[in-house]
Amino acid sequence: MNSLVRFEPKTVTEVAESIRDAATRGRVLRLRGAGTWMDVGHAVQADAELSLGAFTGITSYRPEDLTLSAGAGTTLAELEAATRVHGQWCPLFPWGDDRGTVGATIATGTAGPFAAQLGRPSTLALGVECVDGTGRVIAAGARVVKNVAGFDLTRAVTGSWGTLAVITQVHLRLRSQPAVDETWALAATESTDATVRAFADGPFAPLGCERVSAPDARELGLGAARWLVRIGGNATLVAAARGAIRALGVAYEVDARTWNAIRQRGAPAARATLWRWDSLSSRLRERFDPARVLNRGLLGEVA
Amino acid sequence: MTSLAAQLGRIVGDAHVIARATQLLVYRSDALPGLQRAPARAVFPGTRDELIEVVRVLAAAGAPFVSRGAGTGLSGGALADDITLLGLHRLKRILALDPIARTATVEPGVVNAALTRAGAPHRLHYAPDPSSQTACTIGGNIAENAGGPHCLKYGVTLDHAIRATVVLPSGEVVILDRGDVARDDGTQGGYDLLGAFVGSEGCFGVVVDVTVRLTPDPERVCTLLADFTRVRDAADATSRIIAAGIMPAALELMDQPTIEAVESSVYAAGYPRDAAAVLLIEVDGAAAGLDDDVWAVERLCRAAGARTVRVAHDAAERARLWLGRKKAFGAMGRVAPHLVVQDAVVPRSMLAELLDDIAAIGDRHRVRICNVFHAGDGNLHPNIPYNAHNADESARVHAAMTEIMTRCIAAGGTITGEHGVGLDKLPYMEQLFTADTLDAMCSLRAVFDPERRANPGKVVPVRACREWHGVASTRHGARAGETR
């Protein structure tokens, strides 16, 4: 992979030119953000790599609106740092780690352990700027939290693994951090599995609830198999939730950073190898990248 | 050769096909005033198989059609201009309701509030709650990606849609899902075809059935009414509440003209008539800690200048406060025979500024603007009661609306948050989106409906689609010079 010619366009226009040029020459481009998702799908027989390395940085952040826009190549770590000082979260927290880019997170639709409460990429992306396989420069969505103007290109592009368009910028919904945020570890046994799951579905609406296998738990210094439960809210709510957790079994509080290790261990989704290629999906690919310039073969489509 | 109406009658029974102009009169409008189109015929399938067969017959005839639920849409999206109207209101069966999985599978004609009623014995409800929820259908909600007051916390229609069976305009039946959620058979992975379909305003196909998420009723609900002597202060309170990290279930603003209309009607909710604006704020969730949020909201409202903050103490008082909000549009019927319910979204922090600008626009065009909207989302509804039969007044209303839309676009906002583009907002699409983006929207539509027979002429202006240059006319679109 590393021996490939790498394009690093500096502007959206240059991205469009690279794509049109590749289409004309019948070449295939492999898209690269931080390079952390390169081996998750099927192999891509690329002629060149198109890096989003030049599209970095936060382009707009209005804390009072809980929205943020950033270049696709911006790392999650950078977004985390920028939002933290305002008591906010970039709520993607995908499986993997924060060296990954926001563009790749949206492009691969990679969710994480808090998605049920904080939202999935497909719900947090308010808009994308991208260039499709025909070189069209698309600005979909807006920096507003509700929007039904026109057909929803943001939804089509999010989670499409770069096979419809190259994302250059994303508009995201943010969340306020809860006043109190605690993570509790509980012994995972057959009897606690059901009760913890019921707790997760209950009124306390925990931010995350993950079962950590015994080998992982040992590596993380948690001893035996554990449930990790993250609760957030005002002090009264968290106190009540804490009481409810303790009623489920022997529980102790752990550092919230444990979640970073959990996310790193989370299996990169095998979704890219089990892609549903029905007639509509093939037509979608055909309409947006007829020459199969972008990530050809990654999703296992029959040529 | 047999007429199309006769062919359709053979499928659904002659009683469920209308072809006489006088009987079709009722289908000339949806809830958008001032815009009417006469369908050529209307057909009302009563079963899933009939629906699919109807679409196939239309496909074989190459006939364009418009699907319609309850006709409560506010953008002219359900108008059929001399083509077939496909009415779905007879398809109103709840096919399955799984209280453990918290899902329901319904036909498109099921009324929104009926689904919530069906969930009630299990302490579940269907969260998206447009103001028309007692009449509007789930199929229509899917078509428009409908919102509602409680979408602030719980999300819009798409966030509650899991899977849909859809008959494409070609007659092909497909199953759509989000792609990023595991399917019942354990597989996962695919384009977000359901995400593309929801909100496509009937241009991509017809819902045969849809599986939606039901939401557990909150343990506790608390509703507050805060009143302000300046609209700006109410907008400011909204920002303060969100900035404090509180996520209310709903955060609605009503201004003085709206309060006056509501309080003069049978829906009088006890809003103070002399207030410049009221905020209706609902906080819900686990019982523990809810009071803390209520106190915080009360404190923040007072800090922003609220004159009084009232907390509804029982379900009856809460219901009364909400009735005024949900029936505000109806109450405006007292003011004038017609009502434009507008819809736009701006970044929340710009609400105060935008409301000032909207008031100035209203003054300049001598129209009365009533604001009642989802402040927490920045989703404005500047409404104008007027008489559509008065050409001068209609022209002034239209001019004011155009200015408001332009102002919202300039503020980095969008032209619709939940009502859709339909016919009404077509003229603004080229202001909002680039030519490439509109052309890409046409491509997305072509994936589902390459012949553009489903709801033709809506959402994206025909001339924006390069592939169709010189092919189609604007016959089904807005007519030039039409007085609204």
Residue with tokens 């900035």: B243
Identify the H or E element spanning B361: helix B351-365
Q: Which of A144, A171, A231 to mutate to test the interface with B (most CBs of B within 10 A)?
A: A144
Q: Do A120 and B180 touch (CB under 8 A)?
A: yes
Q: What are phi and psi of A110, to 5 degrees?
A: -80, 115
User: Which chain B residue shows the shortest CA-CA distance from A203?
Assistant: B286
| AA identity, residue B21 | A
Minimal CA–CA distance to B158: which of A122, A244, A35? Answer: A122
How are strands ordered across the β-sheet holding B206-213? B94-98, B103-106, B206-213, B161-167, B173-177
Q: Distance (Å, rounded) from C-alpha B346 to C-alpha B63? A: 39
Q: Do A239 and B288 touch (CB under 8 A)?
A: yes
Task: Provide the CB-side half-sphere exposure for B141 (13 A, CA).
Answer: 37
Burial A73-94 (b: 16+ CB within 10 A, else e): bbbbebbeebbeebebbbbbbb
Architecture of domain B4-87: 2-Layer Sandwich (3.30)
CB-count exposure of residue B480 (10 Å: 0-12, 13-18, 19+): exposed
Q: What does the pLDDT look like over B136-177, one tens digit per residue?
A: 999 999 999 999 999 999 999 999 999 999 999 999 999 999
Q: What does the pLDDT look like over A198-242, one tens digit per residue?
A: 999 999 999 999 999 999 999 999 988 899 999 999 999 999 999
Question: What is the dihedral sign for C-alpha B265, B269, B275, B279?
Answer: negative
Q: Do B413 and A66 touch (CB under 8 A)?
A: no
Q: Do B292 and A234 touch (CB under 8 A)?
A: yes
Architecture of domain A1-178+267-303: 2-Layer Sandwich (3.30)
Residues 386-405 of B with CB under 8 A from A: none
Q: Distance (Å, rounded) from C-alpha B231 to C-alpha B279? A: 10
Q: What does the pLDDT look like over A173-194, one tens digit per residue?
A: 999 999 999 999 999 988 889 9
Q: Which residues of A touch B75 (CB under 8 A)?
A: none
Q: Do B378 and A140 touch (CB under 8 A)?
A: no
Is residue B22 within 8 A of residue B55, CB to CB? The reply is: no
Minimal CA–CA distance to B452: which of B50, B64, B15? Answer: B64
Q: Please count the residues of chain A.
A: 303
Q: Distance (Å, rounded) from C-alpha B62 to C-alpha B451? A: 9
ipTM of the complex as predicted: 0.96
Is residue B385 within 8 A of residue B336, CB to CB? The reply is: yes
What's the CATH number for B94-216?
Answer: 3.30.465.10
CB-count exposure of residue A2 (10 Å: 0-12, 13-18, 19+): exposed
For the cut 90, the answer to whether the pLDDT of residue A266 exceeds it is no
Band (A271; pLDDT cuts 50, 70, 90) = low
Minimal CA–CA distance to B104: which of B92, B117, B94? Answer: B94
Q: Do B441 and A153 touch (CB under 8 A)?
A: yes
Minimal CA–CA distance to B341: which of B4, B34, B23, B27? Answer: B34
Of A144, A281, A299, the CB nearest to B346: A144
Q: Do B189 and A150 touch (CB under 8 A)?
A: no
Of A87, A235, A275, the CB nearest to B245: A87
Q: Which of B180, B213, B349, B439 to mutate to test the interface with A (most CBs of A within 10 A)?
A: B180
Q: Which residues of A touch B189 (CB under 8 A)?
A: 269-276, 299
Q: Where are the beta strands (DSSP E) in B8-69?
A: 17-18, 41-43, 65-68
User: Which chain A residue shows the shortest CA-CA distance from B374?
Assistant: A146
For the cut 70, the answer to whether the pLDDT of residue A267 exceeds it is no
In Å, the largest CA–CA distance within chain B is 74
Domain ranges of chain B: 4-87, 94-216, 218-335, 336-425, 433-468
CATH code 3.30.70.2190 for B218-335:
yes
Of B156, B245, B436, the CB nearest to A146: B156
User: Which chain B residue shows the shortest CA-CA distance from A141?
Assistant: B414
State residue A302's pLDDT score. Answer: 72
Q: Do B245 and A179 touch (CB under 8 A)?
A: yes
For the cut 80, the answer to whether the pLDDT of residue A3 exceeds it is no
Band (A41; pLDDT cuts 50, 70, 90) = confident
Q: Do A138 and B413 touch (CB under 8 A)?
A: no
Q: Distance (Å, rounded) from C-alpha B299 to C-alpha B301? A: 5
Q: Distance from B246 to chain A by nearest Cα, in Å?
A: 8
Q: Do A145 and B374 touch (CB under 8 A)?
A: no
- Choose the CATH number for A180-265 among 3.30.70.2190, 3.40.50.720, 3.40.50.970, 3.40.50.12280: 3.30.70.2190
Bridge partners (DSSP) listed for residue B311 = B224
Q: Which of B351, B447, B460 to mutate to test the interface with A (most CBs of A within 10 A)?
A: B447
Of A122, A143, A237, the CB nearest to B286: A237
Q: Do A152 and B239 touch (CB under 8 A)?
A: no
What's the whole-number average pLDDT of chain A?
93
Q: Distance from A167 to chain B by nearest Cα, in Å?
A: 14
User: Which chain A residue shows the shortest CA-CA distance from B296?
Assistant: A234
Domain ranges of chain A: 1-178+267-303, 180-265
| pLDDT of chain B, 484 residues: tens digit per residue | 589 999 999 999 999 999 999 999 999 999 998 899 999 999 999 999 999 999 999 999 999 999 999 999 999 999 999 999 999 999 999 999 999 999 999 999 999 999 999 999 999 999 999 999 999 999 999 999 999 999 999 999 999 999 999 999 999 999 999 998 888 887 888 999 999 999 999 999 999 999 999 999 999 999 999 999 999 999 999 999 998 989 999 999 999 999 999 999 999 999 999 999 999 999 999 999 999 999 999 999 999 999 999 999 889 999 999 999 989 988 998 889 999 999 999 999 999 999 999 999 999 999 999 999 999 999 999 999 999 999 999 999 999 999 999 999 999 999 999 999 999 999 999 999 999 999 999 999 999 999 999 999 999 998 999 886 655 444 444 443 344 4
State residue A217's pLDDT score. Answer: 92
- Would residue A141 be called left, alpha or beta, if left means φ above 0 and alpha means ψ between -120 and 50 degrees? left
Q: Does B4-87 match B336-425 in CATH topology?
A: no
What's the CATH number for B336-425?
Answer: 3.30.70.2740
Q: For chains A and B, what is the number of CB pairs under 8 angstroms?
A: 235
Of A111, A148, A271, the CB nearest to B417: A148
Q: Distance (Å, rounded) from C-alpha B21 to C-alpha B481? A: 25
Of A140, A177, A274, the CB nearest to B188: A274
Q: Do A156 and B195 touch (CB under 8 A)?
A: yes
CB-count exposure of residue B288 (10 Å: 0-12, 13-18, 19+): buried
Instruction: Check if B155 contacts A (Cβ < 8 Å).
Output: yes
